[in-house]
Every structure is written in C-alpha cells, then in structure tokens.
Structure 1
Amino acid sequence: MATSQSVLLLQKQLNELLKHPVEGFSAGLVDNDNIYEWEIIIIGPPDTLYEGGFFKAKMTFPKACCFMDNEYPMMPPKLKFVSDMWHPNVYPDGEVPNDESPANIEAAKEWRENYPAFKKRVQRIVRNSIG
C-alpha cells in the first residue's frame, strides 16, 4: 500500500534528523499520531539578517487520497511559517512558494528599493522571535 510506504519513509527521515541533527534546524511531530505534520524550528543562520532568530514553521506532507502519485515523496511537502517572517519568498500568511517568483511582493520591492528598511524590519522580527 502506497500510504504505508510514505509513512515508513517519513519515519525513517525523521529518525535520521533526530540521530544526526542539522545545525540550525530541528524537527518533530506536531502530534505523535500524525507523521504527516512536522513542527520545524529554524535558527537564523550566522552572517545573515536572520542571525539569532528562532522561527517556527509547520511542514505538511501530502497523503494519498485518490491517486497513488499524489503523496509524498512524489509530491512535495508544504512549509508555512508560524512565526512572523519578512522575506520575498514567503507570503504574508507564512506560506513558502514552490516557484521562483516572489511570494511577498512588498518584501521583494523593499529589499530592492530600500534595503535599510528591509534590514531594519528583519532585525525587528528576529528580536521578536527570541523574546
């Protein structure tokens, strides 16, 4: 059954992350009974505007419903920031796009046209994420 294959794959991947953590990133289940929803914490990488921030997100992996090829890993997971985020590739509601066009037009415009204001806003978001 395809669903059991995706469950096994997700359990294996989560166990790998727990055994071999990735610096600046942590993942766990939102609910122990649902392997398809993960809580993610991303620590802002050094030497970036996001340095030192703690950003929460939720990753949802697709389950099969009608066709076998519409579940993970054939379909990508969705990531949505729960924490405030100001970034050209993150929609105002926290959703991250799958394509290369900017999701947050205002953030992209500010980044291009008024970088100091962009930087100031990101720094405020970082401060708010840790306090």
Structure 2
Amino acid sequence: MTEPQSALLLRRQLAELNKNPVEGFSAGLIDDSDLYRWEVLIIGPPDTLYEGGVFKAHLTFPKDYPLRPPKLKFITEIWHPNVDKNGDVCISILHEPGEDKYGYEKPEERWLPIHTVETIMISVISMLADPNGDSPANVDAAKEWREDRNGEFKRKVARCVRKSQETAFE
C-alpha cells in the first residue's frame, strides 16, 4: 500500500526541520508509528513575558492535510488570550479554509494548503509575542492583558513560565 500524500508531506517536513532547525521551536513525533501526531517544544520568545518558557504542545494533523489545518494544543499550562483554558490554540491560520461566517477574518488569513509546520509555528511564536485581544479564546486572559498587563496578567504568565521550566523535560 502506498503512503497517502499527507504522510509523505509530513515526513518531508519533519526531515527538513530535523536537518535545518528553526529558531524558537523543535518538533518530533509523539510516537514513531504515527506521522499525524507531533510534539513541539516552543521556546518563549525573547523580550516577551513568555521569555525563558519551554512550552510543550501537540500538533495533530487531519488525514487530508494540507487541504485542512492541523490542531495545536498546549500541554504545558499557558496563560494567553489566544489559547483557551484547555490549551487549544485559536489563531487564524489554523481555522478551516474559506469564508469566515462572522466576517472577522479574510479568507487569505485562514488556513491555506501552502502552510507548513514551520509557518504554523512561526505564527504561534508571533502570537505569543503579540496577542490578538480582539478575538480571544480565553476571555479572562484577554481582559487582564488589556486592563492589567503589568499586574495580574504578567504574574500569571510568569508562573506558567516557571512551571514550564520545571516540567519541560519530563
């Protein structure tokens, strides 16, 4: 049986990332027998509240990737306006392709088959550095980010960063 196109593509992207690592994250398979489930370690971007953090996340690809986007879920606790309390990441490029029924996002901001693990992770790192408070997945974090960025929000993020450092290599 030949490998599906999606598996070939994922295998190629993984090999490329191993050969030419991208600053800010590393990626590998959760289980060598499943190309559709990846574990990524995201390094908190410098000069942000997340600096020094090592956040573990799982990237789960649909069988029809790259026609449809993967899902990204933080396993490490993280306090961020665009990450819901279960760890699910909510950013435009991981939304299903096409028109946004709420008219909030343009189709070109949503998932496109040209995206790769690298472009997804660069978007996520950028999201950590610059949250989108207009479209929060975590309303409480978004409210604190807007109203008390250097107080309560900063304290909660600092606690997540410390915790991430303690659990990063378990």
| CA positional deviation for 1:35 | 0.2
Quote the residue 1:33 is aligned against.
33
The equivalent of 2:159 in structure 1 is 124
TM-score (norm 2): 0.70
Hey, what does 2:68 align to over in structure 1? 75
Q: What stretches of structure 2 of length at least 5 have no aligned partner?
A: 93-104, 106-134
Q: Which residue of 2 aligns with 1:87?
A: 80
Provide the secondary structure at the position in 2 that maps to 1:27: strand
Which amino acid is the alignment partner of residue 109 of structure 1?
Answer: K
Could you list the structure 1 runs, at least 4 aligned residues long, displaced by more than 2 angstroms after superposition. Answer: none
Q: Determine the structure 2 residue equivalent to 1:52.
A: 52
Name the one with the larger strand percent.
1
**TM-score normalised according to structure 1 size:** 0.90
CA shift for structure 1 position 2 = 9.6
Counterpart of 2:139?
Answer: 105
User: Which residue type is aligned with residue 119 of structure 1?
Assistant: K
Unaligned runs of 5+ in 1: 64-70
CA positional deviation for 1:114: 1.2
**What is the aligned partner in structure 2 of residue 6 from structure 1?**
6
- Give the percent of matched residue pairs that are identical in Structure 1 and Structure 2: 62
Bigger relative contact order, structure 1 or 2 (CA pairs below 8 A, ≥6 apart): 2
For the residues of structure 1 that align with 2:91 and 2:152, how far apart are their CA atoms?
Answer: 26
Q: Residue 49 of structure 1 aligns to which amino acid in structure 2?
A: L
Residue type of the alignment partner of 1:79 = L
CA distance in structure 1 between the partners assigned to 2:143 and 2:11 by the alignment: 40
Shift of 1:38: 0.1
